[in-house]
Amino acid sequence: MISQEDVEFYNENGYLLVKAVFDHQEIEAMRTAIDSIIQRAVEANMDRNSRWGGDHMPEAELKKVVLKGYHDVQYHDSAFTSAAVHPNMRRCCRG
């Protein structure tokens, strides 16, 4: 599913876009799942800013940055657990 050129691109850039890993139905299930995860977080009043600190940006600009992050989504909905062990995903990760 990925070529040596893809591996080299990933090693140089830190990411790789692999198309057609999931079908439309699987993508819709993940979209529905993320909506549910966000809604549960809102209802639980778990609204926190996950932005990075540091001196890479002036303090006034940094205060304007808001980054919402959710980690370990595979524990929050089975759609993401299924995605993590999907045969196409495993093919992308083989060394």
- 53 part of a folded domain: no
Which residues of the chain are modeled with pLDDT < 70?
46-54, 66-68, 94-95
In this structure, the dihedral spanned by the alpha carbons of residues 24, 28, 34 and 36, taken in order and rounded to 10 degrees, is: -160
Q: What is the pLDDT of residue 67?
A: 65
For residue 15, the enclosing domain spans: 4-47+74-93
What pLDDT, on a 0 to 100 scale, did the predictor assign at position 39?
85
| Residues of the chain above pLDDT 90, percent | 41
Instruction: Indicate whether 63 belongs to any domain.
Output: no
Q: How far apart are CA 25 and CA 5, in angstroms?
A: 30
Rounded Cα distance between 42 and 58, Å, is 30
pTM for this prediction: 0.67
Please give the tally of structural domains in the chain: 1
